[in-house]
Structure 1
């Protein structure tokens, strides 16, 4: 029988795994449409075809228009779509999860709902960011203090390496141009990393709002994941771009981030890191990667039973 989980469109086996996709594609001042299973970007210089199943996130910049058909194929492909401008990123739409299983989101909710396990995951995130430090036993306040010190040190180190003047992080929401070149580049790099993290979180079927470091926002977990790579990728690239000049900082930063994250296969690493944080004992072939539509019913004593069966006849399990 047909179930609520049944899909008649592309199956995950027919799609590119999220870890193997392009990190993101940025478009501006064009019309985005659909041609078969590709999206097209049309501007004054012609039409470009982009296979939708290879995109992690599509970033739509100023002057873009997108059709319903294009959004349809992006949704079928599990791609994230983010409208982005100089004032920052807002996540308005996304594709369906590539996983059929709810194992990861259930593990996330379980870890998040318990205060101790939530702190344990936060410590594990800190350890991923700064493997030379052991945060075991640290309180949340101590973690925040350590993280703040390490990020400040990173800014100072990159400023010294590149020779870019640095007077501290200055960012005015809604006013991208108010910052100097280094601050603009840091903001632009962060925007790209948020889009990448959103694509992976959505594709794995996790809950974007259940964060372990950030809280109170619909994208708290996305911010957590993006921050894992801030000092390794985002900040160094930002200072490299700022060192090259003050012109066109936003677009140059996006291109530099795109090239770097594809070079280091960041999407694949991001998938592994999320699974390691939420299901540390998971092995290859775990239900988190199931391709089949399997819907079960919860019963007593923690057991799940088959769906599509009428249990009014006194079935005992």
Structure 2
């Protein structure tokens, strides 16, 4: 009698390829896998569940089957503009559970807990404890000053003429090359971070430093890693004055995500940051609906559908 194959398990976020850009093609499903068909009919397969985030550029069409498959395997679909400007995203299974979302919301609504979380973000980002007796708004201001100084320092290090962080998504070509490179780089980081946030079951909109935006928490988490990863890539590319800087930035970000093992670090960092709020996560209610396919052992990352 032939042995039964082991049950399928979703690939953990930390073990996936970080991002993949798709341009001018039809994203569909063939033989259970993502496939991109270009205008000449050439098919390119993408491993199912092996990519954390698919960045869909102009000229890309997505079938219903592809969107449904992305939701099942935990691959975030992000619609971006030609220059990497975020437009819309969908297709993650993080909403399959609410315990972590409720925990996050409880921390954000408690002023004392929120301040502790913000102080932890500051400490991780800058490698030192923030000044004592400061409010969230005051820490936000201090952070802004340090960020502007860091931009200046890195620009000088790579020999890039730097004025200020300034761009208009509606008039992309009018921005200078360093700002265009930075925008392309942060778009890559936000896509990967959002995929991890959703896979872990948290809400992208419930932020602590950033508020009132659909991706406030994504910006909070991404900022912790920004100057370690994508900002140096952006300035390095800007200094080279390549003919296609945005493409060079994307390739550089892909490489630095792999080199720094970013996907392995995001979810543990989120848990470390939220734990600083000193509020115990809520226990699942007794009437909670169990997984459709029970799993005796943990599989994938927190938040994946079974």
1:205 maps to: 201
Q: Which of 87, 97, 121 lines up with 2:94 in the alignment?
A: 97
Q: 2:256 aligns with which of 247, 257, 260?
A: 260
SS at match of 2:228: helix
2:12 aligned residue: 17
- Aligned residues of 2:181 and 2:245 also touching (Cα < 8 A): yes
Cα contact 1:151–1:231 (8 A) shared by 2: no
Contact 2:13 2:199 in 1 (8 A): yes
Q: Given the superposition, is the C-alpha separation of residues 48 and 110 from structure 1 closer, same or farther in structure 2, using an over 3 Å criterion?
A: same
Q: Find the counterpart in structure 2 of residue 4 from structure 1.
A: none
Question: Aligned partners of 1:267, 1:114: CA distance in 2, in Å?
Answer: 29
Quote how far apart the aligned CAs of 1:208 are.
Answer: 1.4
> Any residues of structure 2 matched to 1:204-243 within 5 Å, and which?
204-243=200-239
CA apart distance, 1:258 = 1.0
Q: 1:145 aligns with which of 125, 141, 144?
A: 141
Q: Which of residues 229, 246, 263 in structure 2 aligns to 1:250?
A: 246
In the aligned structure 2, how far is the partner of 1:72 from the partner of 1:232?
A: 34
Deviations 1:158-212 (A, max 9, x none): 1111111111112112222111111100010111111111101111111111100
1:51-62 equivalence runs, <5 A: 51-62=47-58
Does residue 32 (structure 1) correspond to residue 22 (structure 2)? The answer is no
**SS in structure 2 opposite 1:92?**
strand
| Closer, same or farther: CA 34–156 of 1 in aligned 2, 3 Å | same
Structure 2 equivalent of residue 154 of structure 1: 150
> In the alignment, is the contact (CA less than 8 A) between 1:104 and 1:279 conserved in 2?
no
Q: 1:281 to 1:54 in 2, by over 3 A?
A: farther
Give the secondary-structure state (helix, strand or coil) at the position aligned to 1:116. helix
* Offset at residue 287 of structure 1 (A): 9.3
> What is the deviation of 1:255?
1.1
* Aligned 8 A contact 2:107 2:277 in 1: no
Once the two structures are superposed, residues 14-56 of structure 1 have per-residue CA deviations (whole angstroms, 9 ceiling, x without a partner) of 1101122111111111111112332111224832111121111
Pairing 1:188–2:216 present: no
**Is 2:286 the counterpart of 1:296?**
yes
**What SS does the corresponding residue of 1:168 show, helix, strand or coil?**
coil
Structure 2 gaps, min length 5: 1-6, 291-306
Aligned residues: 280
Unaligned runs of 5+ in 1: 1-10, 299-305, 307-317
For residue 246 of structure 1, report the CA deviation from its aligned partner. 4.5
Query: Residues 51 and 165 (structure 1 numbering): CA distance in 2 closer, same or farther, change over 3 Å?
Result: same
- Determine the C-alpha separation between the residues in 1 that align with 2:32 and 2:147: 42
Structure-2 separation of matches of 1:47 and 1:73 = 18
Give the alignment's TM-score, normalised by structure 1: 0.81
C-alpha contact 1:181 1:246 (8 A) present in aligned 2? no
Superposition RMSD on alpha carbons, in Å?
Answer: 2.6
TM-score by length of 2: 0.84
CA distance in 1, matches of 2:152, 2:136: 24
Residue 64 of structure 1 pairs with residue 60 of structure 2 = yes
1:126-172: per-residue Cα shift (whole Å, max 9, x none)? 11110134344322232122211221121111111111111111211
> Which 4+ stretches in 1 moved above 4 angstroms?
none
